[in-house]
Amino acid sequence: GESVGLHLPTLSVQEGDNSIINCAYSNSASDYFIWYKQESGKGPQFIIDIRSNMDKRQGQRVTVLLNKTVKHLSLQIAATQPGDSAVYFCAEKDTGRRALTFGSGTRLQVQP
Amino acid sequence: DTAVSQTPKYLVTQMGNDKSIKCEQNLGHDTMYWYKQDSKKFLKIMFSYNNKELIINETVPNRFSPKSPDKAHLNLHINSLELGDSAVYFCASSQSSDEQYFGPGTRLTVT
C-alpha cells in the first residue's frame, strides 16, 4: 500500500552541526507534507510544512526540501542544538483524504 | 491556554474493562482526530470528526467508539480492553485538515 518512510531510524550529530533528516513517500497524489518533532512524553509539535507546488520552504533554522520527481522530502536543521534532540516525523496528505499518513520517525541525538 | 488537552494523561486498567479518554480543543478548529502511537513510535489515524460528523473511520475494532458532543470535544470510549490496546493515544485538531495540533497524549496500559 501507500506509505511514507524514513531512511535512517537514528541520526547522531554534534552540537552546532547541520542535520538532515530524509523521508521517502510513495503516494503520487500527495499534495501536502509536514514535519513534526516529538519530544519524550509529549505530543508531536509542528515544525514546518510545504505544499506540492513548492520545492523549498524555510523557517527559523529549518528548511524543508521537496523533490516530487523522486518522491523525497528532507528536513534540514541548521546549527543543531541539544534541544533539537527528539523524534522527527514526516507526514503527507493527498487531496482525497483528511488525515495525515505518518512515516516511521527518525530519532535525532545531538551530542554536546 | 492549552490548545489541545486530553485527560487522563495516564490510564492503567485491567483487561475486559471499559474506559474513556477525553479531548478538548480551544482553537476553534472544525476537525478533530484520534491517533494511536504504538511501542515503535508509529502514529496511525483511527478516527476523524468534522463539525461533529464522523469522516474517517480506519480499520479499528468496533470496541472503539468516538463521540463528539460538540466540535470542541472528541472523546474516545473503549470497551472490553485488550492487552494489544496498550499504546499512547493522541488527540489532534485542525482547520481545513492541513496543519494538525496534537494533544499531550494519554498512555494507556492494559494489564
Q: What is the mean pLDDT of residues B76-83?
A: 97
Q: What's the pLDDT band for B54 if we cut at 50, 70, 90?
A: confident
Radius of gyration of chain B (CA): 13
- Predicted confidence (pLDDT) at residue A29 exceeds the cutoff of 50: yes
Model pLDDT, residue A6: 44
- Tens of pLDDT, residues A73-106: 999 999 999 999 999 999 999 877 778 899 889 9
Q: Does A102 touch chain B (CB under 8 A)?
A: yes
What is d(CA A89, CA A81) in angstroms, rounded to the nearest whole number? 18
Q: What's the pLDDT band for A2 if we cut at 50, 70, 90?
A: very low
Contacts of B4 in chain A (CB under 8 A): 43
Contacts of A41 in chain B (CB under 8 A): 105
**Locate cell 482526530: which residue?**
B33
Residue A105 to residue B103, Cβ atoms within 8 A: no
- Predicted confidence (pLDDT) at residue B15 exceeds the cutoff of 60: yes
Q: What is the mean pLDDT of residues B29-35?
A: 93
Closest CA to B110 of B7, B16, B9, B6: B16
Model pLDDT, residue B1: 60
Residue A38 to residue B48, Cβ atoms within 8 A: no
Give whole-number Cα distances, B11 to A10, A41, A87, A100, A109, in Å.
Answer: 29, 14, 23, 26, 29
